[in-house]
Amino acid sequence: MRAAILLSGTGSNLVAIATSVRAGRLPLDLCLALSDRPAAAGLARATEFGMPTCTVAVRDFADREAHEAAVARAIDEAGAELVILAGYLRIFSASFVARYAGRLINLHPSLLPAYPGLHTHERALAAGDRLHGTSVHFVTAELDGGPLIAQAEVAVTATDTADTLGARVRRAEHRLYPTVLGWYATGALRLRGETVELDGLPLAAPVRFRAEIPT
């Protein structure tokens, strides 16, 4: 299955995904790494894995519609069947999401529906949460509100800062995301309407992992 990865930053999840592909654990053909930021470090990391890359910078387009049309054109020209959001910091319009409905997947650093948006680690600490984590979900027009697929819990310690907690969440992400993408690539995971199906059965709740995540 051909997949495009969209990113805005360092590309740590791209590396986790590409490493799983290279090791033969994840049956994806990573056909494109696309960023909205020319200086995104993740583009260089994608090149190290032999992935084609491109930048579609917002400043080069008159409006959001023109920018999204260029992003879609790059994805389609690459032949991507799956679009993976890995730290891509643009919010897509409803029409873009509809174009890739059921094959647009995102990773978010919280246990959704808690803390959609930014600064999730700081917000979890401020609230005194004892559990934090990360979620993988299908993308809809609602910000971080699409149907949940799986989550990984991370315990919050009394000495945590946003940086230390965020580092542990990222480690969980690097195990969780390739696992979920593997379900999709093998046909085990699908979205039918608003219902997530795994192995042909509807999920009543997201699959929840706590410590070691099976690969």
> Which residues are marked as active site?
108
CA 17, CA 159: separation in Å to the nearest integer? Answer: 30
111: number of Cβ within 10 Å: 22
Place of tokens 């986790």: 16
SS3 of the chain: the string is CEEEEEECCCCHHHHHHHHHHHCCCCCCEEEEEEECCCCCHHHHHHHHCCCCEEECCHHHCCCHHHHHHHHHHHHHHCCCCEEEECCCCCCCCHHHHHHCCCCEEEEECCCCCCCCCCCHHHHHHHCCCCEEEEEEEECCCCCCCCCEEEEEEEECCCCCCHHHHHHHHHHHHHHHHHHHHHHHHCCCEEEECCEEEECCEECCCCEEECCCCCC
- Is residue 135 within 8 A of residue 114, CB to CB? The reply is no
